[in-house]
Structure 1
Amino acid sequence: MSYQFSPETNYSGTPQAVMLSQPPRVGRFAQTRGIGIVRHFYRVLCRFTPGLAAHLAYAQLARPPRPALSERHIAIRKRARMQRLPAGKNKLAVYEWGEGPAILMVHGWGSHATHMGRMIGPLVDAGFRVVAFDAPAHGKSSGGATDLVQFANAVAVVARHVGPLHCVIGHSFGAAMAMYAARDWGVVTGKMVLISSFNHCNWFLQMFAEHVGLTPAVLDRMRQMMANLYGGRLKWSRMSVVDMARQAGFPMLFVHDEDDQEIPFDHSLALVTALKDAQFKATSGLGHHRVVRHPEVIRDVVAFVSHQQVE
């Protein structure tokens, strides 16, 4: 099912503006063994040494999970042209398939280049060159830690290497970083597909803070510490993905599943209602990850990329 939306409400783009229909499962911060001990640890630190709590929390956040690749993902990578690109202190693993106008894929937090691998074949068959990469501290790229600034910079590094982009396709955290890179990091694209995106980068930090039990004051310290680290390059008041989308001058397709337990469906609704001409495909029963593998979603993404109207 797909919809054309027109803005009927004045959406502010703040993290509090969206009333969630259900609490998220906290995505890549889902419940794990020992989380009670972690929360007790931070509860003590937040009370007695809030500065240390902020530093340790950032260090923990900056180390994404690095799951092993499945045989299917390994096989997809073996069919690619692979190279490594320098990005700051890191080396990015970059993969390419096919020939033609370039499409850049941007994976989510704790994911990897071929997470959207089932889209690659249909896009190549449609006459496109598909490029994907492992972000810093993800997949086969170097680095043990990263954050949204380094992630967005990696998007820009790969985009510059690839050349003119016909389209960028981002999933989850990668969708928001693709939009961030387009606005603030010089990434130029003809269009963009955002699958299961959140509506504000603050939300990502808030979910982590709730997961480990940070107090609001310590979360603020951590945000300020991150902003100071990049000397003004990171301004949280400018990290609304809604505002980024409003400022974009290219066509956009949003895809989100109503049963997403990691990033609630309401986030994409907020994004689409803020725009005049964006296309929106809503699915159900697929959740956060299967949505990128579903044949109907892939068909509609290929149609949008190929200048066709999504049905």
Structure 2
Amino acid sequence: MTEPARGPSEAGSGVEPPIAPHVRERFALLERFAPGEGARWAAELWCTPPAVEMSLRMPPGVPPSRPIEAAWDGNRVIGESWGEGDPVYLVHGWGGCQAHLGVFVKPLVEAGYRVIAFDLPSHNGSDPGAMAPGRTTIVECAKAVHAVVDEFGPAHAILGHSLGAKATALAVSWGAAAQRLVFLAPMGDFSWYLDVFTQRHGFGPRIRDGLHRRLDQKLGMPLFDTDIAAVADRPDNPPLLVIHDPDDPDSPYGFSEQIVTAWPNALLHTTKGLGRLAHYRILRHRPALDAAVAFIAS
């Protein structure tokens, strides 16, 4: 089993821009002289989805869609629907959009499912939650997943990428009904991302600890309780297929191995050689697509 990297790391595929030097310099000063202010600023940045440089348009061959809408706590979630049959939900990752999972639409419709894709809170057309526009949290994303499933019916399957996998696991632990789950490059434990975020932004343990406390408060629950690992061993969890590439620098492959070990009735499908952009290339990788569709339709 691969042990996930735990120490600070300049992890990232290059899809997100590097942190500007003046930001790192300011955080270094705040670490020394005003860690509380630094933690407040860090929490705002943590809750701001990045602008991922990928197309917002559905890939060629996707049939015409119908608009859909759901609501959680009075906030709208918007998306699209294709086909008829038992619903299969597509949940994009942090900074993503529904189009990022577009290659799954056509084969799932042809397999006889109604496919529903939507934008998470503060992503593209969906409303923000309790925070300012352009910001959201893992708890709000999980609430949105739960709301869409409640609105359009129990899932034959939910397919989630990266943070979308984490939000899906949390929503299912809260009672969102699903017969099967597929996680593509699921986001690992937040403890690792806190270390990476700390290193990238150039602050130290005082701001990191304050950031952690602020996130616990914003979520209304401990940040680490939202990890997939925290809900993986529930005996009523549905069957799970995890698809991941060891090259992925954004979500360590070792976390997927741990998830599959802890999750009852889980399988790991390993892709190979997707390189530094593996976290996003997996969304267009034919073997990953075929494995996901076969698992959903089996």
1:260 to 243, 248, 258: 248
In 1: Cα distance, 2:293 partner to 2:29 partner: 51
In 1: Cα distance, 2:187 partner to 2:38 partner: 26
Q: Deviations over 1:146-183 (max 9, x none)?
A: 11111111111111111111111111111111111111
C-alpha displacement of 1:296:
1.7
SS at match of 1:105: strand
Partner residue in 1 for 2:226? 239
Partner residue in 2 for 1:54? 39
Question: Which stretches in structure 2 are left out of the alignment for 5+ residues?
Answer: 129-133
C-alpha displacement of 1:246:
1.4
Percent of residue pairs identical: 30
C-alpha displacement of 1:123:
0.5
| Cα 1:258/1:202, change in 2 over 3 Å | same
Q: What code does the residue aligned with 1:113 have? A: Q
Q: Deviations over 1:41-70 (max 9, x none)?
A: 111112111111111111112221245773
Matches within 5 A, 1:68-107: 70=55, 72-73=57-58, 79-88=64-73, 90-107=75-92
Partner residue in 1 for 2:215? 226
Q: What code does the residue aligned with 2:229 have? A: V
Task: Decide whether the 8 Å contact of 2:9 with 2:196 is kept in 1.
Answer: no
Task: Decide whether the 8 Å contact of 2:188 with 2:251 is kept in 1.
Answer: no
Instruction: Determine if the alignment matches structure 1 residue 65 to structure 2 residue 56.
Output: no
Q: What code does the residue aligned with 2:203 have? A: L
Range 109-118 or range 198-207, more displaced: 198-207
Q: What code does the residue aligned with 2:110 have? A: D
In 2: Cα distance, 1:271 partner to 1:145 partner: 28
Range 134-143 or range 51-60, more displaced: 134-143
Structure with the larger RCO, 1 or 2 (CA within 8 Å, 6+ apart): 1
In 1: Cα distance, 2:25 partner to 2:6 partner: 27
Partner residue in 1 for 2:123? 138
Range 69-78 or range 204-213, more displaced: 69-78
C-alpha displacement of 1:202:
3.0
Range 221-230 or range 77-86, more displaced: 77-86
| Cα 1:89/1:138, change in 2 over 3 Å | same
SS at match of 1:259: coil
SS at match of 1:288: helix
Aligned residues: 289
Task: Decide whether the 8 Å contact of 2:165 with 2:183 is kept in 1.
Answer: yes
Partner residue in 2 for 1:4? none
2:169 to 165, 172, 179: 179
C-alpha displacement of 1:23:
5.1
Task: Decide whether the 8 Å contact of 1:202 with 1:239 is kept in 2.
Answer: no
Task: Decide whether the 8 Å contact of 2:190 with 2:224 is kept in 1.
Answer: no
Normalising by structure 1, what TM-score? 0.84
Task: Decide whether the 8 Å contact of 2:87 with 2:113 is kept in 1.
Answer: yes
In 1: Cα distance, 2:152 partner to 2:80 partner: 11
- Give the alignment's Cα RMSD to 1 decimal: 2.7
| Cα 1:113/1:268, change in 2 over 3 Å | same
C-alpha displacement of 1:218:
1.6
Instruction: Determine if the alignment matches structure 1 residue 209 to structure 2 residue 198.
Output: yes
Partner residue in 1 for 2:147? 157
Instruction: Determine if the alignment matches structure 1 residue 304 to structure 2 residue 295.
Output: yes
SS at match of 1:115: helix
Task: Decide whether the 8 Å contact of 1:24 with 1:261 is kept in 2.
Answer: no
In 2: Cα distance, 1:249 partner to 1:56 partner: 37
Normalising by structure 2, what TM-score? 0.87
In 1: Cα distance, 2:281 partner to 2:8 partner: 19
In 2: Cα distance, 1:220 partner to 1:171 partner: 28
C-alpha displacement of 1:274:
2.6
In 1: Cα distance, 2:60 partner to 2:231 partner: 36
